[in-house]
Amino acid sequence: MSQDFDFRSLRKRCGVTESSHVRENFLICSTLPSRHLALAARTSVQEAVKNILMISCSPYTMTSRRSLLFMVSLGVSLSLIVNCVQAEPIKYTVNTFKNCLPGFVPELNETTFCCPPQKNLNGPIVDFVPRHDPHKPLRIKKALQCLSGEELRTYTWKLQKGYELMRALPDDDPRSFYQQGKIHCAYGTGCFAQDSTNITLDVHYSFFFYPFHRYFLYFHEKILQKLLGDPSFTLHFWNYDNSITTSPPAGSRDGCFKAGHFFPAIYNDPTKATYSANRSIRAYTPNLVTDLGIPVSTRNTTSLPFEEAVARNRAVMHNSLITNATTSRAFLGRNYSVGDSQLLNPGLGDGSFEAAHASVHWWVGGIMGPVTTSASDPIFYAHHSNVDRLWTLWPKLGPNRHDPTSNLDWMDAEFLFWDENKVLRRVKVKDSSTTEAFGFRYQEVNDASWIQFPN
């Protein structure tokens, strides 16, 4: 069953609300713009042959025989249609937010309700360009497992207090922990559509994956800073990609790095706001290696023994940052411009590390798994801090590895976020490409320790 077309547009235009109905049958609504129909036809001809369901919501009804011929011919001429569409950057606007609708997760066959409260959409929108004051030192984002002594105690207290305060904000405050989870869901499950169309949007499985999450983390951290009254508060990262083993090669640094393999203890105190009771048993099992190779479909695999799991992670890291990441398309994900439909099948558009990143979601499990709820577990932000760190490492790992800065559909794309003062901020992808602009850098740890993995 193809998933490369827009369920919502079919649902909405055809007046069908039952999403599973749409999944199981190929719906054709003849009032659809030809482009939608063409995309649907291209990806679903085979499915359609098996299972055509005609919905007549137009002044005329095609017979299935005629419609089939019509679809096949559209499929054949698809390249012509696509070539006529001028590429243009995707911009989330206030109208995008105002026209938010329930989304859909095909994997779970689930409709999602994640739109931001409309009352937060009436204020001004202020452009935001990250700029670092050169007189101030860069903040350092550190590996969680390497904090110790006083620094660990202070960080633990602040992190837990920050989430306590964020969880205490009213649910309709865009800075609340509740809305942080919801906005990620809205951006990730097709609740938003491209303006003046029904083409749903998703920041995953495309070259927006890294920039979107960098901004999302930035504003999330800003909110924590404001709640704590501490502008220096810095979210540290979960360093699960470290390839240190129980018997590291002579001369290599081991120290704290090995602990990065395990679920960070700081997020596992049931009495604190950083805890989530809704995780897989794996996350509560001490000294269990996070498995970067869990396929999404086998969420309940029992974990591998330590050395095997570390070796497997090293292979995953090597493949997704080195072998399979030699171009920007390969590492960042597919191009995504105005008119492109939402990819509901991750494999069609994701970057080389995005799949491994998903393994961490599924390994932690519970609400951390699906995009609908993942940002409602505080560990999400430590996980994505590491994802963000890997984006900074990738260009250093080989020739020709750079962001697609000559592609204006990447550079000029825009997102909206609420800042720490509840002001809606408009950001551009092009301003996201260095962490220094945001005033921080990552601690050098056992960086790219998997680089030499022979495969």
Instruction: Note whether 188 binds ligand C2O by CB under 6 A.
Output: yes
Q: How many residues bind to ligand C2O according to rule CB under 6 A?
A: 9
91/234 Cα distance (integer angstroms): 29
What value does the CA radius of gyration of the chain take, rounded to a whole number of Å? 23
Q: How far is the CB of 366 from ligand C2O (least distance, A)?
A: 14
Report which of 222, 284, 240 is spatially closest to residue 420, judged by C-alpha positions.
Answer: 222
Instruction: Note whether 222 binds ligand C2O by CB under 6 A.
Output: no
Do 97 and 123 form a contact (C-beta atoms < 8 A)?
A: no
| Residue with nearest beta carbon to ligand C2O | 188
Tokens of 2: 């193809």
235/163 Cα distance (integer angstroms): 12
Between 174 and 211, whose beta carbon lies closer to ligand C2O? 211
Instruction: Note whether 282 binds ligand C2O by CB under 6 A.
Output: no
Between 205 and 275, whose beta carbon lies closer to ligand C2O? 205
Instruction: Note whether 357 binds ligand C2O by CB under 6 A.
Output: yes
Between 105 and 371, whose beta carbon lies closer to ligand C2O? 371
Q: How far is the CB of 204 from ligand C2O (least distance, A)?
A: 6
Between 317 and 371, whose beta carbon lies closer to ligand C2O? 371
Among 139, 161, 182, 361, binds ligand C2O (CB under 6 A): 361
Between 209 and 410, whose beta carbon lies closer to ligand C2O? 209
367/357 Cα distance (integer angstroms): 15
| First-residue to last-residue Cα distance in the chain | 34
Instruction: Note whether 389 binds ligand C2O by CB under 6 A.
Output: no
Sequence-ordered list of residues with C-beta below 8 angstroms from that of 15, at least 6 positions apart, any chain: 57
Torsion of CA 423, 428, 430, 431, to 10 degrees: -10
325/351 Cα distance (integer angstroms): 8
Q: How far is the CB of 408 from ligand C2O (least distance, A)?
A: 24
Output DSSP code: residue 260. G
Instruction: Note whether 184 binds ligand C2O by CB under 6 A.
Output: yes
Query: Could you identify the residue written with the tokens 């697609």?
Result: 404
Among 204, 220, 222, 401, binds ligand C2O (CB under 6 A): 204
Q: Which residues bind ligand C2O (CB under 6 A)?
A: 184, 188, 204, 213, 357, 361, 371, 374, 384
